[in-house]
Amino acid sequence: MKPDTIDTANELAQLHVDQAVANMRINRNAVSATHCDECGDEIEDARRRAAPGCRMCASCQADAEKRGKHQR
């Protein structure tokens, strides 16, 4: 491989890493739902502050994550 090809590959790999990190960051300005999209129960203020942008209560989120792990 030419050095230019390796440099380009490294730059592309770094872009992928940077994008993955950006996707995992919590948007602290996101607005959380007041009620769970799944069960309709009110989402506790502590959860809304801890997980900005949340759409489900902690119980429904845990269930959804368990289902997601079994589907892989």
Q: Look at residue 63 in the predicted model and tell me its pLDDT.
A: 95
* Domain spans, the chain: 31-72
User: What is the chain written as a DSSP string?
Assistant: --HHHHHHHHHHHHHHHHHHHHHHS--TTPPPPSB-TTT-PBPPHHHHHHSTT--S-HHHHHHHHHHHHHH-
Task: List, for residues 12-41, the tens digit of each pLDDT value.
Answer: 999 999 999 887 777 778 899 999 999 999
- On the question of pLDDT at 72 being above 80, the answer is no
- On the question of pLDDT at 61 being above 90, the answer is yes
Question: How high is the mean pLDDT of the chain?
Answer: 89
